[in-house]
Amino acid sequence: MVIVIMGDEAKNSSTATEDVSQLNQDELIMAQQRQIEKEISETIPLVGDLENILLLEHEYSNDDVYQEKVKNLAKKYKSIRRTRPDGNCFFRAFSFAYIERLLDKKEDFDAFYKKTAKSKDDLVELGFQQFTVEDFYDTYLDVLKRVGDIAEVEGAKTELHSLFNDQGYSDYMVVYLRLLTSGQLQKEKDFYSCFIEGHTTVEDFCHQEVEPMYKESDHIHIIAACAALGTGVRVVYMDRGTGKAVTEHDLPEGCVPSVHLLYRPGHYDILYPI
Amino acid sequence: MSTPARRRLMRDFKRLQEDPPTGVSGAPTDNNIMIWNAVIFGPHDTPFEDGTFKLTIEFTEEYPNKPPAVRFVSHMFHPNVYADGGICLDILQNRWSPTYDVSAILTSIQSLLSDPNPNSPANSMAAQLYKENRREYEKRVKACVEQSFID
């Protein structure tokens, strides 16, 4: 989600003094951004509860285009789980939904655990600093282990949901997926460089747009995150565009998606097929 | 109470002690691991040479997901340092990555002293002199260096 950071408050204080450049603009902007984030975090959970898909109609009670699209969506999907719009929504939604899905099938979960256990060495080999990567890796594996140890599937899912709403764990899960995504982009940089606009290198792109928290995800992040985890995702686009139907995109193309996400401009939520 | 931020700061501190980078040092204040004092020595072959510049680093519970607030306590004359000591450096703002630690922050600020970016000025006078009158710039910086012995 896009957060406009130049609000009135920052503007007033900068015109109040004559020498604008001497005033620490960065801190004013950051303070205001923190205030906006605080308001969002007090109202929307990191990963919400399952909700009936038709509840979406309430959001668009005066909007025929969207009403029609929600009805269309309800033919394929029974529920939705919202995520907090903090710029991490894709990574958080994808990470949560994929692990939740893996819990249904023990063999798949175990295979993913093994794959993830090896991932730290790959990142270190790519030049990531072992000392800091370890911190996130340990937490990621700890979460997998804690939910994997619960024999009963529903109980494991409840624990996963609760860990993903604990800011400490949840954000570390997001960071580690961001690092895996960055690693994937750098490992296949010849391929991915074609998708990056301008003269930015893949490394710079990763430092600016992938690794920092709260940076929104684009197509390229999704493709690389899917490749890093070895899975595919279906993104269902719902916007004001013409036509009654929502548009579906499978990433990578032709995959059998394990995760379904609803995209409304600037934000991803998790969808559950019928 | 141990939180992810505090655990991580203990790790950062341990690493800074075991593997200290040249020309920088830092440690948590006595009672509070969330507030650190640090020193950056002016890099050789720059007008900052021989200076010992003090900084404070303030972390929030969101560290390392968000960068700490870093500020020079010593008086600085540098294109990217505000009058209040705040630092205009991309990795402390929009290019922050959770993989950076205190060691990386301090070494980045150290290299900012050697390579100012006058196109994104926090101190417009310093930026202008750096671009147009290097001698006067160096004179003003040297005054800070001398000031740093007294602070």
Q: Which residues pair with B106 in a beta bridge?
A: none
Looking at the annotation, which residues of B are catalytic? Answer: 88
The phi, psi pair for B64, rounded to 5°, reads: -90, 15
Is pLDDT above 60 for A72? yes
Rounded CA gap, B52 and B145, in Å?
7
Residues of A at the B interface (Cβ-Cβ below 8 Å)?
19, 21-24, 26-27, 30, 128-129, 131-133, 135-136, 139, 168, 171-172, 175, 179, 207-208, 211-213
Report the pLDDT value the prediction gives residue B1, as an integer from 0 to 100. Answer: 58
Rounded CA gap, A111 and A231, in Å?
12
Tell if the CB–CB gap between B100 and A171 is shorter than 8 Å.
no
Report the pLDDT value the prediction gives residue B150, as an integer from 0 to 100. Answer: 81
Residue type, A226: C
Is pLDDT above 60 for A13? no
Report the pLDDT value the prediction gives residue A188, as an integer from 0 to 100. Answer: 95
For β-strands B52-58 and B35-41, DSSP reports them as antiparallel
Nearest to A83 by CA among A182, A5, A164: A164
- CB < 8 Å to A168, chain B: 3-4
| Secondary structure E strands in A163-241 | 233-237
Report the pLDDT value the prediction gives residue A3, as an integer from 0 to 100. Answer: 41
pLDDT tens digits for range A19-51: 455 567 777 887 888 788 888 777 889 999 999
For β-strands B24-28 and B35-41, DSSP reports them as antiparallel
Which residues belong to CATH 3.30.200.60 in chain A?
50-81+232-274
Nearest to A238 by CA among A271, A265, A266: A265
Distance from CA of A82 to the nearest CA of B (A): 22
Nearest to A179 among B83, B99, B122 (CB): B99
ipTM of this model?
Answer: 0.81
Secondary structure, 3-state, A105-139: CHHHHHHHHHHHHHHHHHHHHCCCCHHHHHHHHHH
Residues 6+ apart with CB under 8 A from B22: none
Q: Mean of the pLDDT values across residues A216-228?
A: 95
Report the pLDDT value the prediction gives residue A33, as an integer from 0 to 100. Answer: 81
Tell if the CB–CB gap between A212 and B97 is shorter than 8 Å.
yes
CATH fold, domain A50-81+232-274, is Phosphorylase Kinase; domain 1 (3.30.200)
Rounded CA gap, A77 and A260, in Å?
9
Half-sphere exposure of A105 (CA within 13 A, CB side): 8
Tell if the CB–CB gap between B94 and A212 is shorter than 8 Å.
yes
Tell if the CB–CB gap between B8 and A27 is shorter than 8 Å.
no
**H helix or E strand, kind and range, residue A49:** strand A47-52
Tell if the CB–CB gap between A26 and B93 is shorter than 8 Å.
yes
Distance from CA of A170 to the nearest CA of B (A): 11
Report the pLDDT value the prediction gives residue B151, as an integer from 0 to 100. Answer: 67
Chain A residue closest in CA terms to B78: A22
Which residues belong to CATH 1.20.1300.20 in chain A?
90-215
Residue B10 in contact with partner chain A when CB distance is under 8 A: no
Report the pLDDT value the prediction gives residue A16, as an integer from 0 to 100. Answer: 41
pLDDT by 10s per residue, chain B, length 151: 578 899 999 999 999 999 999 999 999 998 899 999 999 999 999 999 999 999 999 999 999 999 999 999 999 999 999 999 999 998 998 889 999 999 999 999 999 999 999 888 899 999 999 999 999 999 999 999 999 888 6
Tell if the CB–CB gap between B82 and A132 is shorter than 8 Å.
no
CATH assignment of A90-215, given 3.40.50.300, 3.40.50.720, 1.20.1300.20, 3.40.50.1360? 1.20.1300.20
Residue type, A265: P
The phi, psi pair for A188, rounded to 5°, reads: -110, 45
Chain A residue closest in CA terms to B14: A131
- A135 vs A11, more confident: A135
DSSP state of A209: I
- CB < 8 Å to B123, chain A: 21-22
Is pLDDT above 50 for A14? no
Report the pLDDT value the prediction gives residue A23, as an integer from 0 to 100. Answer: 62
Distances (CA, A) of A148 to A81, A151, B58, B126: 22, 7, 37, 57
Tell if the CB–CB gap between B99 and A168 is shorter than 8 Å.
no
- B109 vs A62, more confident: B109
- CB < 8 Å to B107, chain A: none
Nearest to B96 among A19, A131, A212 (CB): A212
- CB < 8 Å to A171, chain B: 4, 62, 65
> Which class for B54: exposed (0-12), middle (13-18), buried (19 or more C-beta within 10 A)?
middle
| Residues B38 and B25 sit within 8 Å (Cβ to Cβ) | yes
- A10 vs B140, more confident: B140
Q: What is the pTM of this model?
A: 0.85
Interface test with B, best of A19, A24, A210 (most B CBs within 10 A): A24
Rounded CA gap, B40 and B103, in Å?
11
